[in-house]
Amino acid sequence: MDTSGYYQTLLKRRAELIRRLGKIDHDLHELRSPDMEEQAVEAENDEVLEGLGHAGETELKGIDAAIERINNGTYGLCVSCGTPIAPERLALLPATPFCQDCARH
């Protein structure tokens, strides 16, 4: 399997996530307003940012695992059952470790 296209897609997405996570981290550490009402809004915004940060970190781990599978020659094989993952599925979800059947379970 030619993995070069997937590898480039994963690297690009990884770079996007790292930039986004850096911005989230920066935004979470900005100075807060002295206004109590504004602080309440900022706290709500922080919760949303933290959720986005956690989701981004999870996606980043999946991308790193996919890159590792490319490097060790197992990319495109389901980590659960070992069957090939459909190219259409990899095109939509290049970091997926599972074939469609195993993803359902």
State how far the Cα of 68 lies from the Cα of 51, in Å rounded to an integer. Answer: 26
Which residues are paired to 77 by β-bridges?
Answer: 84
The 10 Å CB-count burial string (b at 16+, else e) for 44-54 is: eebeebeeebe
Contact status, residue 14 vs residue 60, Cβ threshold 8 Å? yes
pTM (2 d.p.): 0.83
Domain boundaries, the chain: 4-75
Q: Is the pLDDT of residue 71 over 80?
A: yes
Confidence of residue 1 (pLDDT cuts 50, 70, 90): confident
E strand or H helix that includes residue 43: helix 36-72
9-33, pLDDT tens digit by residue? 999 999 999 999 999 998 888 767 6
Q: How far is CA 90 from CA 19, 28, 62, 78, 103, in A?
A: 24, 34, 13, 11, 13
